[in-house]
Amino acid sequence: MIETVRNILKKYVNISCETTFIVGFSGGWDSMCLLDIMNKLSKEYGFLLVAAHLNHNWRGKESEAEKERCLAFCEDNDITFISDTLAEGTKASELVAREMRYDFFKRCAEEFEADAILTAHTKSDNAETILYRIIKGTGLNGLEGIRELRELGGFKVIRPILNFSRKDIEEYCIKNELYPNNDSSNANTKYARNNIRHNIMPAIKLINPNIENSLITLADIAAGNNKVINELMQNIENQITVGNKWLTVNFMILNSAIKQHFVYNLLVKNDLEPSFIKIQEIINFIAENQKSKTGKTLSITNDKWLFVSTKYIYFVDSEHYKKIEDIVEINEAGKYEFGGLYNITIEKSNDKVTKFPKAAENIAFVDFKNIEFPFTIRTRRNGDIIQPFGMQGKMKLKKYFINKNIPEHDRDKIILLCKDNEVLWVVGVGISEKLRTTDIPSHKLHMEKINDN
C-alpha cells in the first residue's frame, strides 16, 4: 500500500523536505490508514505532514472524545494537528458536512501553504458514490465517480488510497496495530450513503458479489467515453464562452443534450454534486430568465448563486457580494488609494481633448467649475442620487443601475465619486451631467487596480 500511495503522489507532487501535505483526519479506519502511511513516508522524505480534523459537533461528547483520540495519535507520532469545531445548530446533512469539511481543508492548506490536500476515499467509497449517483439520476459524467485528483480553490486534492477496498484498509490497520474511531453516525441509515453501504450494497452482492469492481469498471468506461466527448465539446464551448462566462444567446441555441453536458461540467468545476434534477433545474432557470436585462440569480448552495441575464450566465459566490466599506475624503487633486485594491487619480488638466474615453472605461475628463471640493470616494448608500449624463433631472442611483443593466451583485463593488449623497462619477459606467466638459476639461479622473501597476 505504501508504494502505491508513493507512486500516486509522485504523479501530482514533487515530494521533498520542502513539501507540505494536509491529510483530512477523522480518526476513522480510512483516514487512520492514510495518515499512518503518510507518516511513514514523511520519515523518509522529511516533508511536513498536517492532520486536519473537523468536529462536526453532531454527537456531543462522542465527537469531542474522537477529537481527543486524534490529537493523542498525532502527538504520539509527532504529526502536526489542527482542528476546528462547527457551530452548534449546523445542519446535520451529508451535503453541509461535505461543504464544511472542504472549506476547512482549504483554510488549512492556505495557512500551511500546502502542496496538496489528501483525503482517504477508497474503492468502496467510489463504488458507493457511483451507485448513489445512479439512484439520484446522473449522466455519463457522473458515472466517473470519485476522481483521483481534483482542484479546490487552487489546491490539489489527491485520493491516494482510492484503489483499495474497505477490507484492504481494515487489514492494514489491524496489521499495524492502529485503533481507529468508530463513528456511531456511520451506522445511521437515515443518511443516504449509509443506507447504500449497509443495506443496498449487501443486497446487490447477493446477485453480484463483485459489484464494487463492476462499478469501478463502469466508471473507467465512462471516463474513456467522456474524454472523447470532451474533446469534441471543446470547440462548442469556445463558441459560447467569454472568460468564465457563457454567452446566453449562444447557450440557448444548443440542443438539450449539449446543454446538459455543459451544466454538468459547470457544477463539477464549482465543486457541486451534480444530479439530473439539479441540471434540469438550472437549464429551466436559464430558459426562463434569458431575456432579463439586469439578470436573475438562482441559489445553488449557501454561498453560490447562478446568475443569468440576457448577456451572460455565470456563478457568483459570497465573496462577490462583499461590499467595500472604505470611504476616502478628497480635498484636492492627487492620488488616492481605495480599499487596498485601487488607486484613483484626480489631476488637473487644461489640454484640449480630441477623443473622449467611452463611459465603460475607467478614465473620465470632467469639469469641476460648477462643483467644488471636497468629494468622497465610496460605494453606494441608500439615498444616493445622480443626474445622468445628457439629462436635466436627477434619479435614484438604484434606478440608474437598472437602466444601465448593472446586475444586483455587482452594484456594491462599483466605485463612486460623490458630493454628499450625489454621485458624480460611476467608475466604468458613466459621469454626471454636472461634470460635462466640452473640449478643455478642468480635471482628468483615472482608476486602476493596484496589482495592475
The whole-number pLDDT of residue 203 equals 95
**Number of other CB atoms surrounding residue 342 within 10 Å:** 21
Assess whether pLDDT exceeds 80 at residue 88: no
The secondary element (H helix, E strand) that includes residue 222 is helix 211-240
Assess whether pLDDT exceeds 80 at residue 322: no
DSSP tag of 110: H
Residue type for position 447: M
Taking the CA atoms of residue 340, residue 302, residue 189 and residue 157 in that order, the dihedral angle to the nearest 10 degrees is -30
d(CA 221, CA 233): 18
The pLDDT tens digits for 278-321 are 999 999 999 999 999 999 999 988 888 999 999 999 998 877 77
- Average pLDDT of the chain is 90
The whole-number pLDDT of residue 95 equals 75
Q: Give the strands of the sheet with 443-449, arranged side by side.
A: 334-338, 342-348, 443-449, 363-366
Regarding predicted confidence, which is higher, 274 or 337?
Answer: 337
- Radius of gyration of the chain, Cα coordinates, nearest whole angstrom: 28
d(CA 443, CA 367): 6
- The reply to whether the predicted model has a pTM over 0.75 is no
d(CA 206, CA 293): 57
The whole-number pLDDT of residue 438 equals 79
The pLDDT tens digits for 94-108 are 777 888 888 899 999
Lowest-confidence pick of 133-137, 194-198, 342-346: 133-137
Q: How confident is the model at residue 453 (pLDDT cuts 50, 70, 90)?
A: very low
Assess whether pLDDT exceeds 70 at residue 166: yes
Residue 156: strand pairing partners: 151
Q: What is the DSSP string of 242-274?
A: ETTEEEHHHHHTS-HHHHHHHHHHHHHHTT---
Sign, CA torsion 301/304/308/309: positive
The pLDDT tens digits for 341-356 are 899 999 998 888 888 8
Rounded to whole angstroms, what are the CA distances from 334 to 229, 327, 331, 341? 55, 16, 9, 17
The whole-number pLDDT of residue 194 equals 87
Phi/psi class of residue 327: alpha, beta or left (left: φ > 0; alpha: ψ in -120 to 50)? beta
DSSP tag of 187: G
The whole-number pLDDT of residue 92 equals 66
Helices (H), 92-138: 94-112, 123-136
All 3 cell numbers of residue 334? 492627487
Enumerate domains of the chain plus CATH numbers: 2-211 (3.40.50.620), 243-318 (3.30.465.60), 328-452 (no CATH)
Contact indicator for 348, 333 with CB cutoff of 8 Å:
yes
Regarding predicted confidence, which is higher, 45 or 93?
Answer: 45
Nearest in space to 445 (alpha carbons), one of 437, 453, 287, 213: 437
Nearest in space to 1 (alpha carbons), one of 51, 24, 157, 9: 9
The pLDDT tens digits for 221-272 are 999 998 888 888 888 988 999 988 999 999 999 999 899 989 988 888 877 8
Rounded to 5 degrees, φ, ψ at 293 are -70, -45
Percent of all residues in the chain with a pLDDT value above 90, rounded to a whole number: 62
**Average pLDDT, stretch 361-380?**
92
Contact indicator for 185, 191 with CB cutoff of 8 Å:
yes
The pLDDT tens digits for 73-86 are 999 999 999 998 88
The whole-number pLDDT of residue 33 equals 95
Q: Three-state DSSP class for 443?
A: strand
**Average pLDDT, stretch 413-436?**
94
Assess whether pLDDT exceeds 60 at residue 452: no
Phi/psi class of residue 77: alpha, beta or left (left: φ > 0; alpha: ψ in -120 to 50)? alpha
d(CA 287, CA 309): 10
Rounded to 5 degrees, φ, ψ at 208 are -135, 95
